[in-house]
Structure 1
Amino acid sequence: MKAPIILETKTGTIIIQATELLYITVDDTKDHSLCFVTKKGTHYCTGDLNNYEDADQNWLFRCHRSFVVNLLTIREINKYERRVYFLDDSSNNNCPFSRRKYVPLKQSLKEILFTEQEAL
């Protein structure tokens, strides 16, 4: 089981489960603000994307300078549009990935899915 992400927001503490998070992005309107996009909505807190690409959370992958995706919720990696699409997402959210991150993104996705399959 993947450890949830605990956010300290202005309104209180929010716990985001690994299966609910789609991606994390930088909020350009505020300094040091991150936007956590989930299947049910968005949450904002202060922080740095670098904090979410460490080894403890191997299910997260930095696919772009401003985006970290949840490998467990990826439905499609579209090479030609350079976009990542997500499972069970009613809002049809997607995010970009950089050209040089395409191969590492595919490899990380394969590894995490293989690891998850073995755990079953």
Structure 2
Amino acid sequence: MPESIIFHASKGEGQKTVKVGATFTGDVYLDPISIDDKAAFANVTFTPCARTYWHTHEDGQVIRVLAGSGWICDKGSVPRRLKTGDTVWAPAGTTHWHGADENSIMTHWVVGLGKTIWHEAVTDEEYSKKG
């Protein structure tokens, strides 16, 4: 029988906070917890106005806001507010973006399931159409 895996709060060997950039706008920092072909677990911190590009998760994504406030937006919709304690389920195939508010950082714990498909950057106009 398989054994449960514990991901300790302290970083292990090779786990370092990294500044990410290629598929993000603004300053975003990633604390990887566990990443493989089936699932990626991480804490992600967005500075004010920072955000992901549009992206889609093959098998869905869970987001739990740990600190600050921000936004999430599904393609074809308007951005919706996120605040500390909120949890989001983006079903498989949902194209979306998420990021921090103008006046706040946002740190979230994220689980991406399956492959992540990255699309184009979220424009300033798309970011500013908040509901």
Superposition TM-score, scaled by structure 1 size: 0.29
Larger RCO of the pair (alpha carbons < 8 Å, separation 6+):
2
Higher percent of residues as helix: 1
Give the strand-richer structure, 1 or 2.
2
Q: Decide which structure has the larger Cα Rg and report it.
A: 2
